[in-house]
């Protein structure tokens, strides 16, 4: 079964699904690129690991630690009160290890990283170690001779810094090292297909076109997400009123 949406499927943004979608889409992009690159290049799936103690880094939501002391009163013969502290059960936040995968296009002969391709996760777009870890990596790439392709298919959270960034549901940034600080920003809405994008390589070489929409549709079918998505419930994050009405018409 095909996805009912012409572009990004907002139901795939659900935190319970996105991790698996992210992994499948990263591998699909890598395999697609290999078919369009000469043997001058290799594509590697790399990973970034950090510790996170926020609510998406563990299986259950962890509240702030608080110890409340109960005091019981015992009357003595003299009429005085003795306060006896009693322990409360508390939850101690334990940082969980988080692994995020991204792609590197390398020159086969030298191992030089030519292009980094990042597919953002929810942690990259909200405050916390996930965003800090990604911003550190992002800044390192932007300060190097490596191209950056940053794919944001998530409506939730705070977009990564771009000057004079127009409002949009989704965005893809292509930052060619020799053109910085100028980059190409593709913005598109829920109602539009995901644009095909060029992937920058070494100077003076043709840039292969990556058809993300085709790959997302492939992942949707191969993952059989149509069997687990409840299209009668609203997606998370919720849609605007206009998009909600549009999506309702589309799904009926």
187 exposed, middle or buried (CB, 10 Å; 0-12, 13-18, 19+)?
middle
Q: What is the pLDDT of residues 196-228, one digit of tens each?
A: 999 999 999 999 999 999 999 999 999 999 999
Does the structure show a pLDDT above 70 at 183? Answer: yes
Does the structure show a pLDDT above 70 at 180? Answer: yes
Query: How many Cβ atoms from other residues are within 10 Å of residue 31's Cβ?
Result: 12
Tell me how far apart the alpha carbons of residues 42 and 112 are, in angstroms, rounded to a whole number.
Answer: 10
Q: What is the pLDDT of residues 117-171, one digit of tens each?
A: 999 999 999 999 999 999 999 999 999 999 999 999 999 999 999 988 899 999 9
Give Cα separations from 51 to 95, 100, 163, 187 (angstroms).
Answer: 6, 11, 30, 31
Does the structure show a pLDDT above 90 at 80? Answer: no
Predicted TM-score of the model (pTM): 0.84
> What are the residue boundaries of the structural domains of the chain, listed by start?
10-58+93-251
Of 247, 225, 227, which Cα lies nearest the Cα of 237?
247
């Amino acid at each position: 079964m095909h996805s009912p949406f012409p572009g990004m499927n907002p139901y795939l943004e659900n935190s319970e699904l996105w991790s698996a979608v992210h992994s499948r889409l990263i591998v699909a992009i890598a395999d697609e690129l290999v078919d369009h690159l000469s043997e001058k290049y290799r594509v590697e799936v790399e990973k970034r690991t950090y510790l996170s103690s926020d609510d998406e880094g563990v299986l259950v939501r962890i509240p702030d630690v608080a110890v409340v002391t109960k005091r019981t009163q015992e009357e003595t013969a003299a009429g005085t009160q003795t306060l006896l502290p009693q322990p409360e059960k508390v939850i101690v936040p334990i940082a969980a290890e988080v692994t995020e995968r991204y792609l590197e296009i390398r020159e086969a002969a030298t191992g030089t990283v030519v292009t980094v391709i990042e597919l953002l996760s929810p942690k990259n777009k909200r405050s916390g170690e996930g965003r800090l870890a990604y911003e550190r990596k992002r800044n390192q790439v932007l300060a190097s001779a490596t191209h950056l392709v940053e794919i944001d298919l998530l409506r939730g959270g705070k977009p990564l810094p771009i000057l004079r960034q127009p409002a949009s549901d989704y965005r893809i940034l292509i930052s060619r090292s020799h053109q910085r600080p100028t980059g190409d920003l593709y913005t598109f809405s829920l109602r539009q297909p995901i644009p095909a994008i060029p992937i920058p390589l070494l100077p003076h070489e043709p840039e292969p076109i990556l058809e993300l929409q085709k790959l997302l549709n492939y992942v949707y079918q191969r993952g059989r997400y149509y069997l687990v998505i409840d299209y009668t419930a609203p997606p998370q994050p919720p849609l605007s009123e206009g998009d909600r009405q549009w999506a309702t018409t589309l799904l009926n």
